Amino acid sequence: MNQSILGREWAVPYPPVRVSWLWPAGVVMLGAALRLYRLDAYNLETDEGFSANAAALTLRAIPAFVARWDSHPPLFYLILHFWRWLGADTEFTLRLLPVSFGILSIVILYRLTAYLLGPKTALLASLLLAISPYHIWFSQMLRSYPAVFFFALLSLDAMARLLREERAALWVFYVGATTLALYTDYAAVLVWVAQNVAVAVLGLRRSAPPWWKWMLAQAAILLLFLPWLGLRPWEGLRLGAAPDALAPLTGSAGGAASASLSAVSSVVYALAAFTSAFLPMREPWIKVAVVLVFGSAWILGLWAVRRRLGPAVLLASVTLIPIGAGILGAYALKGFLPAMFHVIPTRTLIVAGAGYYPLLAAGFRRGLSRRAGVLWLAALVMVNLYSLDLMYFHTAKSEPWRQIAAAVAAQIRPGDAVVFAPGYWHRPFDFYYHGPGAIAECYDDDPGRLMACASRHGSFYLVFGKWEDGAAWRQIPGHARSTRSEFGDVVVERYSRL
């Protein structure tokens, strides 16, 4: 046993503190209830539609399809494939998979924090995660974000225990958990980098593990990840992403609007969302205040645990490396490496929660007086409750794709096509469409190619955004509009050949 591996100051663990198992269980139940509430209140949105459709492919086809058309690795889609095989085919049952990862993340965060900072701090950290609107939002989304957070927490938990105990089984578990995280989402790369930075810093104090063991573990992770690189996944990175999934959290209206934000404001909005999302979009001072107040609590937490070198370095690295990568991606790399910008959008900051919540909890408990800590915590809880009300009842997560698909299915005729502008709207439509037989679809980012595809059909349905009502590309030679239906911001028009 090597008790100095995370620093001499951590050689003596926290004295045992009795915390009834009922308290952590209650926090997990609270987190589960908040993530299950109104889980099926909205239709699948565009990226969720992609997840559902990709998972419906054959097991052998999923990796190649994802490498070609998505900017994420395939593990989540493979797990979702088996989830669908078990009978998940509705919004609720499909989203139950990411919700499960979100709930399990509360458990693993408690376990990790209890090992590093003690059970009372762990209880508070898990509570902060359980009521986080940011994490609840992504847990209710049929995407890989809660899954990569879960596997990243497993990797960090194994690393923390491994660096004190150095058992062979822990090395194997660390390599396995890290590899699973990398196969789930590229955000795991940021955690992996943070782990290596932490080991390098600890090495300066001669407290790092034997270099050959650590390098052998990293080599094993790279070797296990090589099969995915063999499928040329950078093809999917070049395609670009659908609108940023964080748009309702940051106040942007989509990919284009998000790109127009300055790097600084984008990061500030993301960090505010990280602490308490869905605050009023038109009041940026609220977001700045949230970042300053609770960022200060995080710094106090880091100061409070500074004497325990291992936990301080590990948790700070896991918090700051993803945030730094987000700033770099939004600012320095945006025009220089457009493919990389895709890997580190603001939503990947979810992995920073593995270090943020434990240190924030330590700030409330140890960095402040008891009264001040209770007041700061009460303020965060109240802000989060307000944010949850906005999230549940005042934030539209998706267009009414079930209704749109049903309307088209009721009128479509053999030989008709469905044309989508923007093209990625076909993703949720395909999930909900249950019309007679297969249909031809046209979707392309170029209006000229899109209309050329549409004109090859005698009749077709054009599905487009209401903001495109006056666009010149909608004038299709030789075709006339016969019907028009509006579904919120989505318009469906039927065109027939003259």
pLDDT at 17: 52
Q: Is the pLDDT of residue 479 over 70?
A: yes
Sorting pLDDT into bands at 50, 70 and 90, what band is 274? low
User: Higher pLDDT residue, 218 or 251?
Assistant: 218
Check if the beta carbon of residue 290 is closer than 8 Å to that of residue 279.
Answer: yes
Q: Which amino acid is at 332?
A: A
Q: Give the residue-averaged pLDDT of 170-176.
A: 96
* pLDDT, tens digit (0-9, with 9 covering 90-100), for 199-225: 999 888 777 678 889 999 999 999 999
Q: Is the pLDDT of residue 406 over 60?
A: yes
User: Higher pLDDT residue, 65 or 252?
Assistant: 65
* pLDDT, tens digit (0-9, with 9 covering 90-100), for 420-462: 988 889 999 999 998 877 678 888 777 888 888 888 888 999 9
Check if the beta carbon of residue 43 is closer than 8 Å to that of residue 140.
Answer: no
* pLDDT, tens digit (0-9, with 9 covering 90-100), for 50-87: 999 999 999 999 999 998 888 789 999 999 999 999 99
- Alpha-carbon span 233 to 379, nearest angstrom: 44
Closest CA relative to residue 158, chosen from 168, 179, 147, 173: 173
Directed axis angle between helix 263-276 and helix 309-327, to 10°? 130
pLDDT at 265: 60
pLDDT at 264: 55
Q: What percent of the chain has pLDDT over 90?
A: 49
pLDDT at 244: 39
pTM: 0.88
Sorting pLDDT into bands at 50, 70 and 90, what band is 256? very low
pLDDT at 23: 92
pLDDT at 216: 95
- CA-based end-to-end distance of the chain: 82
pLDDT at 281: 60
Check if the beta carbon of residue 275 is closer than 8 Å to that of residue 129.
Answer: no
Residue 164's contacts (CB-CB under 8 Å, 6 or more residues apart) are 1, 2, 3, 5, 6, 10
Q: Is the pLDDT of residue 10 over 70?
A: no
Q: Give 462's Cβ-side CA count (13 Å radius).
A: 30
Q: Domain limits of the chain?
A: 8-394, 401-497
Q: What tokens does 114 get?
A: 């209890």
Q: What percent of the chain has pLDDT over 70?
A: 81
Closest CA relative to residue 203, chosen from 216, 215, 220: 215
Q: Which of 50-64, 144-158, 333-347 has the lowest mean pLDDT?
A: 333-347
Given strand 490-497, what is the order of strands in its sheet?
440-443, 417-421, 459-465, 490-497, 479-487
* pLDDT, tens digit (0-9, with 9 covering 90-100), for 27-53: 999 999 999 999 999 999 999 999 999
- Alpha-carbon span 472 to 99, nearest angstrom: 43
Q: Is the pLDDT of residue 401 over 80?
A: yes
Check if the beta carbon of residue 5 is closer than 8 Å to that of residue 208.
Answer: yes
Residue 232's contacts (CB-CB under 8 Å, 6 or more residues apart) are 67
Q: Is the pLDDT of residue 474 over 80?
A: no
